[in-house]
């Protein structure tokens, strides 16, 4: 999906690049045109760990974005309700994500 809008200072195009493995080509196409990306991370137990594992999609997408020239990355954590809004879980995700993004 594609949305466009402008502010007095910027022209903005939002490209929804799905993260599902079946749509990796679309994700690469969208990301290759981006100046900035939003990486959405699932907070659910097991989901987060799978995503940042060596072969995880979250890790792969962050690496692809960087490789394709995206230097600004917004990280959003969703599904916090599944952790009962745990601040400890949030901090754990921030720490782990920061570690692999800074590598």
Enumerate the domain spans of the chain. Answer: 2-101
Decide: 101 and 73 in contact? Cβ < 8 Å.
yes
- State the pTM of this model: 0.81
For 100, residues 6+ apart whose C-beta sits below 8 A from its C-beta are: 52, 59, 62
| Residue pLDDT, tens place only, 83-95 | 999 999 999 999 9
| Residue pLDDT, tens place only, 49-83 | 999 999 898 898 899 899 999 989 999 999 999 99
Residue 20 has pLDDT above 80, yes or no: no
For 46, residues 6+ apart whose C-beta sits below 8 A from its C-beta are: none
Q: Report the distance separating Cα 87 and Cα 80, nearest Å.
A: 9
Q: Report the distance separating Cα 98 and Cα 75, nearest Å.
A: 10
Residue 17 has pLDDT above 80, yes or no: no
CATH class of 2-101: alpha beta
Between these two residues, 33 and 54, which has the higher pLDDT value?
54
């Amino acid at each position: 999906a594609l949305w466009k809008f402008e502010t007095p200072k910027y022209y903005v195009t939002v490209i929804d690049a799905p993260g599902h493995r079946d749509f990796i080509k679309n994700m690469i196409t969208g990301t290759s045109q981006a100046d900035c990306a939003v990486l959405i991370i699932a907070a659910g137990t097991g989901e987060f760990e799978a995503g940042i594992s060596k072969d995880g999609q979250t890790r792969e997408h962050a690496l692809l974005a960087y490789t394709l020239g995206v230097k600004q990355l917004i990280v959003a954590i969703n599904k916090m309700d599944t952790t009962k809004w745990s601040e400890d879980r949030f901090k754990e995700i921030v720490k782990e994500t920061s570690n692999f993004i800074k590598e």
